[in-house]
């Protein structure tokens, strides 16, 4: 096969640099931490502008998200859905498909799990009910991605736009389902029926950390290994690097496209299910944490590497748990986390450019 | 059912359709120029929301809607300048930066809104309308189409300006070439980076203006996430229009009717949950994409940064 298999990072910010000795490691560390620091400073200036002391804010975030025992357990629990989403995005992005519809798929998965879970535990053993709820969430999310997948595979319609449109539709549909189909008649709050705490995913040891974390870690490692170690993963990478070359080397690109969307959306649906069955227990009307949009930058920052993504997802989780706490104490809305994440992303992209450029000119 | 088809109702429906269509039209025209020049501008949603925020702030503090529009357009342009610097000059990935800009500005405007307006939620007074003489006296159509704010007429006129630019000017050809075969443009002695930068900045100004219109005239208020995908709808319009400004106008009006219908149905007391109604415009987009998506052609070099001498 004479296909030029450029690494998947060709679709990422910049081609990743060759791994080298210790000097290289130091440089990579500097090039990662430097931009993050710069972003913290810029975001700090925004905080100053609205009259909040950035040091107090960052102090709260670190204390709550990272240092306090309760906070760190919440952080680790929050990682579960984020890891599933990241896993789904890694598959899609490595295969060169921009699944930006994660939020719709997540919410529909969540609502399906919330509808199925409390209903099924009445008849089935708890473990079987949970498995069924997971499967249903996966199937529904997969189904939701079918239309963009078919349009991309057979009509060549840009999937960025179709998945975005489907996410707007999915968010509304999830609300409709919560309010009309699966409304809990016993409360006045519009929400689905609640899965009893004892029937949710077990907690790890003596902590409050949901075992969803383990599932999320398994998912992202499995996805990473699938993309890097299996023939199927290689095929997807080829499709991502050069679809035309993929066709010429005899790959069934349309089928692979649909498979990619199914895996990616299925994982997003699992993310919704793991959040509901592990933590929330029900879906409230108008609930949309928009995790998928926040995870997308993390996956880029990790250069679509599963193990690096775990680190960045942890960072996002700290920021989001700490940010929610700081929001309550300092009155800074949690939207600030979005601002911070996007500045980090832009700074890292610029740093990578400078690094790349610097290397190139030095070699010449 | 008399309420549904009365003249007043019909006029209100069409008036609402035009009001809803204008931001989409401006965003669609802007995105079209970017795409022609080979830049897929996912950051347009961010440009719009920033334009909406600054437009509202400008109009609220100065008391002048026009100053608001100006500030809004400049705000959109400022975001576009960042995008142009990172994606056109430095050649960073357009989709990544676009998503980052959109997310960051949605967060930033929500943050600023929280500190400035979340206690009072101030509103702007209703915008002045400029009726077009004679035409405004036509029953139904007059009040619906010819009694709008001046920006509306400007937006429609812009469609024809764009047609002129693309068909008759050197700039139009340059833009087209920058998207289809940037290397050829470079060989012809024209700066690809500069051409694309012009396109992106124009997009920013139009998207910012569209956002400002949405907040100042459409809603009269700024609330976080007010654009709610209007920028993305602009991208759809640009994609389906295949480079024709007039098609963007028709598409925008079609979506405008959809959006206006959703409000009209609520006013008419049709018993349907708001969530279902909110789905209608996006449903319309998906149907359009299913029907016509195949024909949506995009420039050859769309999304690819241009680097001289690189293959």
Determine whether the interchain pair A346/B294 forms a contact, defined as Cβ–Cβ distance below 8 Å: no
User: What is the number of alpha carbons within 13 Å of residue B67 lying toward its C-beta?
Assistant: 8
Q: What is the mean pLDDT of residues B120-130?
A: 78
Can you give the pLDDT at residue A361?
58
Q: How much of chain B exceeds pLDDT 70, in percent?
A: 93
Can you give the pLDDT at residue A216?
93
CA distance A291 to chain B (A): 12
Can you give the pLDDT at residue A6?
37
Can you give the pLDDT at residue B3?
52
pLDDT grade, residue B162 (50/70/90)?
very high
Domain count, chain A: 1
B-proximal residues of A, 50-109, CB under 8 Å? 50-51, 98, 100
Tokens, residue A357:
């450029």
Chain A residues touching residue B286 (CB < 8 angstroms)? 147, 162, 165-166, 169
Q: Does A350 touch chain B (CB under 8 A)?
A: yes
Can you give the pLDDT at residue B22?
94
Q: Does A346 touch chain B (CB under 8 A)?
A: yes
pLDDT grade, residue A4 (50/70/90)?
very low
Residue A293 lies in a domain: yes
Q: What is the mean pLDDT of residues B299-309?
A: 75
**Which of B86, B100, B108 is opposite residue A297, by nearest beta carbon?**
B100
Global pTM value: 0.88
- Check pLDDT > 50 for residue A110: yes
- Paired with B307 in beta bridges are none
Determine whether the interchain pair B93/A349 forms a contact, defined as Cβ–Cβ distance below 8 Å: yes
Q: Does B42 touch chain A (CB under 8 A)?
A: yes
Q: What is the mean pLDDT of residues B101-115?
A: 91
CATH, residue A137? 1.10.3470
Determine whether the interchain pair A160/B229 forms a contact, defined as Cβ–Cβ distance below 8 Å: no
Find the angle CA(A245)-CA(A247)-CA(A252) to the nearest 5 degrees. 140
- The DSSP string of B42-80 is TTHHHHHHHHHHHHHHHHHHHS-HHHHHHHHHHHHHHHH
Can you give the pLDDT at residue A341?
87
State how far the Cα of B20 lies from the Cα of B233, in Å rounded to an integer: 12
Determine whether the interchain pair B111/A333 forms a contact, defined as Cβ–Cβ distance below 8 Å: yes
Q: Does A361 touch chain B (CB under 8 A)?
A: no
Distances A83 to A77, A166, B39 between C-alpha atoms, Å: 10, 22, 31
pLDDT tens column, A41-63: 999 999 998 888 889 889 888 88
- Check pLDDT > 70 for residue B245: yes
pLDDT tens column, B206-226: 999 999 999 998 888 888 888
pLDDT grade, residue B52 (50/70/90)?
very high
- Check pLDDT > 80 for residue A302: yes
State how far the Cα of B261 lies from the Cα of A231, in Å rounded to an integer: 51
Q: Does B293 touch chain A (CB under 8 A)?
A: yes
Can you give the pLDDT at residue A273?
93
Q: What is the mean pLDDT of residues A326-350?
A: 86
Can you give the pLDDT at residue A146?
93
Determine whether the interchain pair A176/B111 forms a contact, defined as Cβ–Cβ distance below 8 Å: no
**Which of A12, A164, A337 is opposite residue B232, by nearest beta carbon?**
A164
**Which of B101, B229, B293 is opposite residue A151, by nearest beta carbon?**
B293
Determine whether the interchain pair B229/A168 forms a contact, defined as Cβ–Cβ distance below 8 Å: yes
B52 closest CA partner among B212, B206, B205 = B212
**Which of A100, A166, A346 is opposite residue B97, by nearest beta carbon?**
A346
Q: What is the mean pLDDT of residues B78-102?
A: 91
Determine whether the interchain pair A335/B224 forms a contact, defined as Cβ–Cβ distance below 8 Å: yes
Residue A340 lies in a domain: no
State how far the Cα of A23 lies from the Cα of A4, in Å rounded to an integer: 30
- The DSSP string of B203-216 is HHHHHHHHHHHIII
ipTM of the complex: 0.85
pLDDT tens column, B179-194: 888 888 988 889 999 9
With CA atoms as reference, the chain B residue closest to A291 would be B103
With CA atoms as reference, the chain A residue closest to B108 would be A339
pLDDT grade, residue A94 (50/70/90)?
very high
Domain that holds residue A313: 53-331
Determine whether the interchain pair B111/A339 forms a contact, defined as Cβ–Cβ distance below 8 Å: yes
CA distance A294 to chain B (A): 8
Can you give the pLDDT at residue A81?
94
Q: Does B224 touch chain A (CB under 8 A)?
A: yes
Can you give the pLDDT at residue B282?
85
SS (H, E, C) A88-145: HHHHHHHCCCCCCCHHHHHHHHHHHHHHHHHHHCCCCCHHHHHHHHHHHHHHHHHHHC
State how far the Cα of B101 lies from the Cα of A137, in Å rounded to an integer: 31
State how far the Cα of B237 lies from the Cα of B246, in Å rounded to an integer: 11
CB atoms within 10 A of CB A244: 8
Helix (H) or strand (E) holding B130: strand B130-131
State how far the Cα of B286 lies from the Cα of B291, in Å rounded to an integer: 9
Cβ contacts from A onto B, under 8 A? 135
Average pLDDT, chain A: 85
Can you give the pLDDT at residue A356?
77
State how far the Cα of A288 lies from the Cα of B234, in Å rounded to an integer: 24
Can you give the pLDDT at residue A313?
93
pLDDT tens column, B53-85: 999 999 999 888 899 999 999 999 999 999 999
State how far the Cα of B141 lies from the Cα of A328, in Å rounded to an integer: 51
Residue A81 lies in a domain: yes
Can you give the pLDDT at residue A22?
65
CA distance A349 to chain B (A): 7
Q: Where are the domains of chain B?
A: 2-118+147-295
Q: Does B135 touch chain A (CB under 8 A)?
A: no
State how far the Cα of A109 lies from the Cα of A98, in Å rounded to an integer: 19
- Check pLDDT > 60 for residue B1: no
Q: Determine contact, residues A318/A79, Cβ cutoff 8 Å.
A: no
- Check pLDDT > 60 for residue A16: no
State how far the Cα of A4 lies from the Cα of A61, in Å rounded to an integer: 45
Helix (H) or strand (E) holding A244: helix A243-248
N-to-C CA span, chain B: 64
- Paired with A210 in beta bridges are A203
Q: Does B232 touch chain A (CB under 8 A)?
A: yes
Can you give the pLDDT at residue A262?
95
With CA atoms as reference, the chain B residue closest to A293 would be B103
Q: Does A176 touch chain B (CB under 8 A)?
A: yes
Determine whether the interchain pair A333/B110 forms a contact, defined as Cβ–Cβ distance below 8 Å: yes
Determine whether the interchain pair A164/B285 forms a contact, defined as Cβ–Cβ distance below 8 Å: no
With CA atoms as reference, the chain B residue closest to A285 would be B275
Helix (H) or strand (E) holding A312: helix A306-330
CATH numeric code, B2-118+147-295: 1.10.3470
């Amino acid at each position: 096969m004479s296909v030029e298999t450029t690494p998947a990072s060709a679709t990422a910010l910049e081609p990743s640099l060759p791994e080298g000795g210790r000097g290289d490691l130091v440089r990579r560390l500097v090039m990662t931490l430097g931009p993050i620091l710069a972003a913290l400073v810029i975001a700090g200036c925004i905080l100053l502008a609205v009259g909040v002391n950035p040091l107090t804010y960052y102090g709260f975030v670190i204390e709550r998200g990272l240092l306090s025992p309760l906070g760190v357990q919440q952080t680790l629990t929050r990682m579960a859905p984020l890891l599933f989403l990241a896993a789904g995005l890694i598959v899609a992005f490595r295969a060169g498909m921009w699944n930006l519809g994660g939020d719709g798929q997540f919410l529909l998965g969540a609502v399906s799990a919330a509808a199925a879970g409390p209903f099924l535990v009445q008849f089935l053993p708890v473990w079987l009910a949970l498995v069924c709820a997971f499967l249903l969430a996966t199937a529904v999310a997969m189904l939701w991605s079918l239309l963009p997948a078919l349009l991309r595979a057979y009509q060549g319609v840009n999937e960025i736009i179709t998945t975005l449109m489907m996410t707007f539709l999915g968010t509304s549909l999830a609300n409709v389902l919560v309010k009309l189909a699966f409304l809990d008649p016993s409360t006045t709050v519009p929400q689905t029926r609640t899965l009893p705490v004892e029937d949710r995913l077990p907690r790890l040891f003596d902590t409050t950390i949901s075992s969803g974390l383990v599932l999320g870690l398994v998912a992202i490692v499995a996805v990473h290994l699938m993309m890097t170690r299996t023939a199927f993963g290689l095929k997807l990478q080829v499709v991502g690097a050069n679809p035309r070359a993929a066709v010429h080397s005899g790959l069934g690109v349309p089928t692979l496209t649909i498979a990619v969307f199914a895996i990616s959306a299925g994982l997003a649906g699992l993310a919704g299910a793991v959040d509901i069955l592990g933590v929330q227990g029900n879906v409230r009307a108008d609930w949309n944490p928009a995790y998928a949009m926040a995870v997308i930058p993390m996956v880029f920052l990790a250069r679509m590497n599963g193990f690096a993504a775990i680190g960045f997802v942890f960072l996002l989780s700290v920021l989001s748990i700490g940010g929610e706490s700081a929001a309550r104490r300092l009155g800074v809305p949690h939207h600030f986390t979005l601002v911070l994440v996007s500045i980090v992303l832009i700074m890292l992209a610029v740093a990578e450019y400078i690094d790349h450029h610097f290397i190139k000119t030095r070699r010449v | 059912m008399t309420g549904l088809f009365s003249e007043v109702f019909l006029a209100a429906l069409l008036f609402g359709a035009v009001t809803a269509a204008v931001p989409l039209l401006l965003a669609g025209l802007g995105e079209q120029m970017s795409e022609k020049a080979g830049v897929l501008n996912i950051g347009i949603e961010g440009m719009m929301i920033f334009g909406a925020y600054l437009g509202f702030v400008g109009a609220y503090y100065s008391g002048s809607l026009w100053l608001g529009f100006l500030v809004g357009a400049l705000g959109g342009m400022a975001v576009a300048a960042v995008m142009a610097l990172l994606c056109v000059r430095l050649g960073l990935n357009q989709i990544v930066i676009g998503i980052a800009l959109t997310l960051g500005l949605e967060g930033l405007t929500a943050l600023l809104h929280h500190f400035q307006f979340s206690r009072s939620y101030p509103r702007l007074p209703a915008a002045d309308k400029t009726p077009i003489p004679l035409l405004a006296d036509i029953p139904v159509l007059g009040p619906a189409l010819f009694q709008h704010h001046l920006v509306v007429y400007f937006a429609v006129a812009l469609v024809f300006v764009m047609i002129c630019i693309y068909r008759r000017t050197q700039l139009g050809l340059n833009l087209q070439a920058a998207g289809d075969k940037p290397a050829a443009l470079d060989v012809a002695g024209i700066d690809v980076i500069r051409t694309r930068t012009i396109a992106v900045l124009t997009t920013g100004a139009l998207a910012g203006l569209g956002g400002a219109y949405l907040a100042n005239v459409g809603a009269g208020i700024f609330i976080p996430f007010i654009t709610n995908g209007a920028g993305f709808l602009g991208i759809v319009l640009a994609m389906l229009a295949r480079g024709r400004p007039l098609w963007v106008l028709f598409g925008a009006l079609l979506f405008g009717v959809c959006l206006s219908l959703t409000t009209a149905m609520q006013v008419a007391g049709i018993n349907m949950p708001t969530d279902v109604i909110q789905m209608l415009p996006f449903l319309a987009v998906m149907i359009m994409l299913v029907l016509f998506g195949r024909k949506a052609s995009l420039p050859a070099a769309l999304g690819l940064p241009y680097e001289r001498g690189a293959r």
